[in-house]
A and B are shown apart, each in its own frame.
Chain A
Amino acid sequence: GAVVSQHPSWVICKSGTSVKIECRSLDFQATTMFWYRQFPKQSLMLMATSNEGSKATYEQGVEKDKFLINHASLTLSTLTVTSAHPEDSSFYICSASPTSSGGYEQYFGPGTRLTVT
């Protein structure tokens, strides 16, 4: 149980285009999901907290108009990187927190590698 999927697992796009990444909790409901970013040989940094039915909360320095987050259901959150640039190339990882856990448990997706050319 407690499986989180991400799609796609990797994507290559051209500079200026937009890319959507999906994060799904497969066997549980998640009121809250988190989006992290990891640059090569670095640690994970929280980008935003996604709450079902409300606006996402972004960390300082993360542009909300560039990284659009939609959490329209209890099992799906999407991250759209708009007008992607090479510096957005990174490994994006989501995690989902079961509603039943009150936010105290998190399960991570396998990550999406984004390469912007």
Chain B
Amino acid sequence: SQQGEEDPQALSIQEGENATMNCSYKTSINNLQWYRQNSGRGLVHLILIRSNEREKHSGRLRVTLDTSKKSSSLLITASRAADTASYFCATDRVTGRRALTFGSGTRLQVQP
């Protein structure tokens, strides 16, 4: 499969807790992005991290990237019920097509 893998596939936590999702990919990349998708809706871009960056923050989001392990993690701190959604990582390749390759996704459920 060309897709990357994400784990866990599903995650259920209580409001206020932190949520961590992991993504692994297969090819060398220019950058890695994280998206959120509410059920049946379009994608919302969360954050982009470049291949020469190791960590990036945006509000309650923290993303790490380890290119040697071809992996990334997304941490959502102090989660809220509104964070309930599916989260996907997406990578683009250094060479070849510019389309994004999406991970399998993590379904996050935040219980109020």
Contact = CB atoms under 8 A, between A and B. Distances in A.
Interface in B53-105: 88, 92, 97-105
B4 to A, nearest CB: 9
Interface residues of B, number: 20
Nearest to B45: A108
Chain A interface SS verdict (over half): strand
Contacts of A109: 42
B22 to A, nearest CB: 15
Interface string A104-117: 10101111010000
Interface residues of A, number: 23
Interface in A8-48: 32, 34, 36, 41-46
Contact of B88 (A34, A44, A113): A44
B97 A49 contact: yes
B3 A43 contact: yes
A108 B88 CA distance: 14
B102 A43 contact: yes
Contact of B99 (A34, A41, A91, A110): A34
Contact of B98 (A45, A97, A110): A97
A53 interface: no
Nearest to A44: B102
Given A43-B88, A44-B88, A103 B43 contact: no
Nearest to B6: A43
Interface of B: 3, 30, 35, 40-43, 45, 88, 92, 97-105, 107
